[in-house]
Amino acid sequence: MRDFDTVRQFLTGSGIFAFFDAPWAPIFLAIIFLLHPMLGFIALAGGGVLLALAFANNAVTRKPLEAAGRISSALSGAIDSSMRNAEVIEAMGMFQNFRHRWAARQGDVLRLQAQAADRAGVIMGLTKYTRLLLQTAMLGGGAWLAIHEQMSAGCIIASSVLMGRALAPVEQAIGIWKQFLGARVAYRRLNGLLAATTGAAGRSNPPRPAGAISADGIRATPPGRATPSLSDLTFELGSGQVLGIIGPSGAGKSTLARLLVGAWRPDAGTVRFDGSDIQSWDAEARGTFVGYLPQDVELFDSTIAENIARFGTLDGEAIVAAARRADVHELILRLPQGYDTSIGRGGSALSGGQRQRIGLARAVFGNPAIVVLDEPNSNLDDDGEAALVHAVSQMKATGTTVVIISHRPSILSATDQIMVLEAGRIRLIGDRAEVLAAVTRSVITAGERAADQPTGNQIDPARQNAAATRDRLASGPGHFEQQAV
């Protein structure tokens, strides 16, 4: 938002007129030439010097100003994150560390800005000096021409005024260069953000999809990273199917979830719903067909009803229907003001499990065709977990396509297919029972290999671990856990 404001302030400020006035400069110069070539050459030479000063101004101020803009933007992001995590900072005595860190970075910003201001001040002084010199030369030249009867007194005044108008944009541009560079950096950052995410309006408005998902050779690189976190991913999921995604931390599961809901744009490849590239869809329309529960639930500071209704029209029936579908209706009724309970910033008035269950109700609001749940049970107790399994079974019964990222075996039992992601690539995908059996076999083999290692008389933790893993898996794939992959 800060970047957006910076661009808006520049575009609506008076400085922008320097750019509109600039195209008139050659016309004014041409008229001065017509009045007398000698005055034309004086104005042209003066314009050249001012232009050189403008380039020098850019050369000496651009780097420090851009660096200051980058640090300043990172600092405002850090402040936002510190405010959200104020309790952690307070609880673990991190305030002074944060303060020193912030002060040091802020010091860098001020130092860079002062450096740029000092340099710009010198250039500005030279510019004013050049302007005055030119004005004097123009009037002096005009007077000399008038004495020699080559020009009238009126033409002296006219040429002086014309030169002032011709050179004003250059001088103005030097004055507003700081704002211009700030706005340019902000504009580039916004462009980068929009390129990484999606949301372009005015694209095609497709009908509600049946829910088939396909990914064709997708690769994705998170913003600010040089290497992709997903590469060459291809798979298909029929409408009404439930896919479970498992894999170690950092395997790219959440990245895939963001791509499937259209929150991120792939660098290469295509995600399709019912065979149609979702990036060609209008983002608002696509959102009505999609339900998404991110790993960090991210509720907004308002009532439960408004959160579930995605801040659209408050249709009581639809809100309660979504809450029932997520099996959270009773829980909401037990809260002090039911659906009108205000949940505070980021849902801070709710427990982690409550947030997750209300996030699930928001995901299924409006009965979307495709629902993507990223670790929907990480904070749930047994009741919450049972409610989630019930909700997924209901979605499956009504033909909703569901993608669930989870490490817990209970929710995986509701899936038709399982995908194992490792280091950004699909290691296994297929029928649930087959994939879990294959995973189990590979764990047993690894466990046996570890158990067979000779270790002398010492008690080896790896052997103990392997034996425990074998015992756990002996009771079947339902006991699968993520570290076993």
Distances (CA, A) of 347 to 21, 251, 307, 327, 354: 51, 28, 10, 19, 9
Output the CA angle 301-307-309, nearest 5 degrees.
Answer: 150
DSSP code of residue 206: P
The nearer residue to ligand ATP, 6 or 254, going by C-beta atoms, is 254
Please state the closest distance from residue 247 (CB atom) to ligand ATP, in A: 6
Least distance to ligand ATP from the beta carbon of 251, Å?
A: 4
User: Between residues 209 and 252, which has the closer beta carbon with respect to ligand ATP?
Assistant: 252
- Residue placing its CB nearer to ligand ATP in the complex, 43 or 259: 259
Of the candidates 290, 279, 285, 216, the one whose C-alpha atom is nearest the C-alpha of residue 257 is 290
Query: Residue 424 CB, nearest distance to ligand ATP (Å)?
Result: 7
Nearest residue (CB) to ligand ATP, 64 versus 424? 424
Q: In one letter, which amino acid is 249? A: S
- Interface residues with ligand ATP (CB under 6 A) are 222-225, 229, 247, 249-255, 295
**Minimal distance in Å, beta carbon 261 to ligand ATP?**
13
Please check whether residue 478 is in contact with residue 409, taking contact to mean a CB–CB distance below 8 angstroms: yes
Bridge partners for 237 per DSSP: 213
Closest CA to 165 of 129, 136, 131: 131
Helix (H) / strand (E) element for 426: namely: strand 425-431
Between CA 482 and CA 485, with CA 483 as vertex, the angle to 5 degrees is: 75
Element (H, E) at 276: strand 276-277
Amino acid at 127: T
Q: Which of residues 224 and 454 has its CB atom nearest to ligand ATP in the complex?
A: 224
Torsion angle (degrees, nearest 10) of CA 445, 449, 450, 455 = 160
Closer to ligand ATP by CB, 231 or 254: give it: 254
At closest approach, how far in Å is the CB of 227 from ligand ATP?
9
Give me the least distance between CB of 267 and ligand ATP, in Å please: 13
Closest CA to 365 of 304, 308, 324, 316: 308
CB of 70 to ligand ATP, least distance (A): 17
Nearest-approach distance from CB 225 to ligand ATP, in angstroms: 5
Give me the least distance between CB of 307 and ligand ATP, in Å please.
23
Closer to ligand ATP by Cβ: residue 220 or 304:
220
Q: Shortest approach of ligand ATP to residue 222 CB, angstroms?
A: 3
210: buried, middle or exposed (CB in 10 Å: 19+, 13-18, 0-12)? middle
SS3 assignment, position 320: helix
Ordered strands of the 230-237 beta sheet: 230-237, 213-220, 268-273, 276-277
As a whole number of angstroms, the distance between CA 109 and CA 87 comes to 28
- CA 212 to CA 22: how far, in whole Å? 55
Residue 395 Cα to chain centre, angstroms = 30
Residue 46 CA: distances (Å) to CA of 31, 135, 239:
16, 9, 72
Which residue, 251 or 466, has its beta carbon nearer to ligand ATP?
A: 251
422 or 434, CB closer to ligand ATP? 422
Residue with smaller CB distance to ligand ATP, 18 or 257:
257
Residue nearer to ligand ATP on the CB measure, 255 or 356 = 255
Residue (of 142, 189, 150) closest to 1 by Cα position: 189
Residue 7 CA from chain centroid, whole number: 18
Least separation in angstroms between CB 105 and ligand ATP: 20
What is the chain's alpha carbon radius of gyration, rounded to the nearest angstrom? 33
